[in-house]
Amino acid sequence: MIKLPLFRNRLQNIFDCFGKSIIMDEAFSKGKILVNINDIARLAGVSKATISRVLSRSPHVNESTRKRIQKIIDDNGFEPSHLARNLSRRKSQTIGIVIEDIANPFFISISSEIEKILYEKKYNMMISSSQWNRDKELEIVQSMIRSSVDGFIIAPISPDSEAVALLKRTGRPFILMNTFSEDPDVNYVSTDDIEGGKLAARHMYSRLRKDEKIILVTGYEHQNLSRRMEGFFLYMESKGIERDQITHYRNINTYNDGLAIVPTILMRSKLKSNKASIFITSDDIAMALQEGLLQNGRTLPEDIRIIGYDNIEFSRRCRIPLTTVEQSQKDIGIIAAMELLELINNPLKEVKQYLLPPRLILRDSNP
């Protein structure tokens, strides 16, 4: 019977051996497979401090011994443990991304921009979605803290959600994304959604026909949406169209919600006979409405004109390419990543608050 201080672990180590070709006979004879810095040190006949130096490309190591050691490292397929390294260095080289929905094309393109930059700067990313649930959002942030992420990019459910408060309170580096904050100490990058709402309204108004219905469709009660709505209403008011003349369908959150509301809209707004212009505060839902209306035999854009919001990749590829208000996912991603990296390296850097300008994109759905 083998008797070792940490027997269980050793056993696991031995288990791991199945299917491996063994390079380090010496280590193997001791029932050990995974190579670590000590093994390499012993093999090279130097101290592990030296190995550590070649691992981190320190200049303070003789060129010839560096080469010799590097060869031993390569030959044995030694991969230094980031766990140990990070524990020792007190940083993990990973940053946490918290978004609302990982399947949302809008966030996907932002994330992929972020990833490019982080990859370049040798950072990893950890990504998780809150599903518009405040508890889950908090849980995610806590879990990321346990994982020792170096900083956060978070699209919070609200700028004063508990998760954000926790980040603030514990002084961890973070950037708010797609949300703006009244707090002058908080870094954020967002789009000027009031302006965005106005852009949509102005275009819609310029194309408005006689007796045409104006319809507004919105999703989750979120700061962004309120601002888009607000801008929309403000412009319309400036043209003498009051809020009660605009039919408002709320809480249409998913593609399927969008499909499901179509019969109601058709009936309530009497769209069988009337023409209409619809502003929908997200492209994803806009596509659902479009689909539903087409299925119900309406012709677009002749009968019903649609304006969306976001300009996701797919907006130009859907049934009737969407006229929409663009938020540049590329810019948001790049700025968020760059700012966070700076913030991590210099916690005293000045606060930056970006409110990016939206842009109207004309396509067939409301030409």
Partner DNA sequence: TTGAAAGCGTTACCAG
Partner DNA sequence: CTGGTAACGCTTTCAA
CB of 365 to a second copy, least distance (A): 12
Q: Contact between 49 and DNA (CB under 7 A)?
A: yes
CB 293 within 8 A of CB 272: no
Q: Which residues of 120-148 are buried (b: 16+ CB within 10 A; e: fewer)?
A: eeebebbbbbbeeeeebbbebbeebeeee
Among 2, 18, 210, 302, binds a second copy (CB under 8 A): 18
C-beta of 66 vs 202, nearer to DNA: 66
CA 200, 206, 209, 210 dihedral sign is positive
356 binds, among DNA, a second copy, none (CB under 5 to 8 A by kind): none
Restricted to residues 26-45, the positions that interact with DNA (CB under 7 A) are 34, 36-38, 45
CB of 4 to DNA, least distance (A): 7
C-beta of 84 vs 260, nearer to a second copy: 84
In three-state secondary structure terms, 123 is coil
Q: Which residues of 76-103 are buried (b: 16+ CB within 10 A; e: fewer)?
A: eebebeeeebbeeeeebbbbbbbbbbee
| Residues whose CB falls within 8 Å of the CB of residue 301, separated by 6 or more in sequence, listed in order | 320, 364, 365, 366, 367
Order of strands across the sheet with 174-177? Answer: 124-129, 94-99, 151-154, 174-177, 188-191, 353-356
Q: Segment contacting DNA (CB under 7 A): 74-82, 99-107, 211-219, 221-229? A: 74-82
Among 46, 138, 155, 217, binds DNA (CB under 7 A): 46
319 binds, among DNA, a second copy, none (CB under 5 to 8 A by kind): a second copy
C-beta of 45 vs 367, nearer to DNA: 45
Q: Which residues of 352-367 are buried (b: 16+ CB within 10 A; e: fewer)?
A: eebebebebbebbbbe
Restricted to residues 139-178, the positions that interact with a second copy (CB under 8 A) are 142-143, 145-148, 166, 168-172
Q: Segment contacting a second copy (CB under 8 A): 72-80, 156-164, 228-236, 260-268? A: 72-80
Interacting residues toward a second copy by CB under 8 A: 9, 12-13, 15-21, 33, 77, 79-84, 86-87, 90, 92, 102-103, 108-109, 112, 115, 124, 126-127, 142-143, 145-148, 166, 168-172, 185, 287, 291, 314, 317-319, 347-348
